[in-house]
Amino acid sequence: MHPAAPFRVADAHVVLAHLAAHPLMALFAVCEAGPRVAHAPVLVRRDGEGIALDFHLSRNNALTTAFARGAMALAVSQGPDAYVSPDWYAAADQVPTWNYLTVEAEGEVAPLDEPGLVALLDDLSAQEEARLAPKTPWTRQKMSPGRFEAMLAGIQGFRLQPHRLEATFKLSQNKPVDERARVASALGDHPIAQAMGRNPTD
């Protein structure tokens, strides 16, 4: 994470909203073959007073065995990003930079049992199908009998219990208000310009 405090997001609701909007995460861990990364959509679960992140991988994925043994994972959700040109500032002697939104979760991973995996798949598809409204949602009941169960054998579900959940929303907060306005204006309708307008780290 970026070490500068102005870019950190303290509001847990903002962090969870980011994860809901950008569920595809990169999952990093070290296995016998060395460091590896997998990409998977993650479903946020309420777990008592905290949260859990449920996901699934192919049983042939290099990280599946490591996670089945309880390996630690670092999960990263990337949001929109944008290059910022020094020409957009009024002040002299500026340098290029990059604005971006990202969330990191770090913690132990444990396997889900089969009912947990089925619940994950149902809930994840329901979450994503809802974004396609007014389309009639897809459900696995539309599949041929036995097909879902056959495909289920090829994947493994997991739950990541974060002991660290941190967000960096780097949106030019280290610049004066007028300079930030120039950057947002130069970016036009880019999602980063919209995020700069919301600026949840203020």
pLDDT in tens, 67-89: 999 899 999 999 999 999 999 99
Model confidence band, residue 42 (pLDDT cutoffs 50, 70, 90): very high
% pLDDT > 70, the chain: 98
Of the candidate CATH numbers 2.30.110.10, 3.40.190.10, 3.90.180.10, 1.10.8.60, the domain formed by 5-194 belongs to 2.30.110.10
Q: For residue 130, what are the contacts with CB-CB under 8 A and spacing of at least 6?
A: 137
Domain boundary assignment for the chain: 5-194
Q: What is the pTM of this model?
A: 0.90
Phi, psi of 8 (to 5 degrees): -80, 145
The amino acid at residue 7 is F
Report how far residue 163's alpha carbon sits from residue 142's, in angstroms, rounded to the nearest whole number: 38
| Of 4-13, 85-94, 137-146, 171-180, minimum mean pLDDT range | 4-13
96 has a pLDDT exceeding 70: yes
**What sections of the chain are H helices per DSSP?**
12-21, 62-68, 114-130, 147-152, 177-187, 191-198
93 has a pLDDT exceeding 70: yes
Contact 86, 96 (CB under 8 A): yes
Looking at residue 200, its pLDDT comes to 47
Report how far residue 127's alpha carbon sits from residue 166's, in angstroms, rounded to the nearest whole number: 23
Q: Output the six-digit token pair for 172.
A: 């030019």
Looking at residue 31, its pLDDT comes to 86
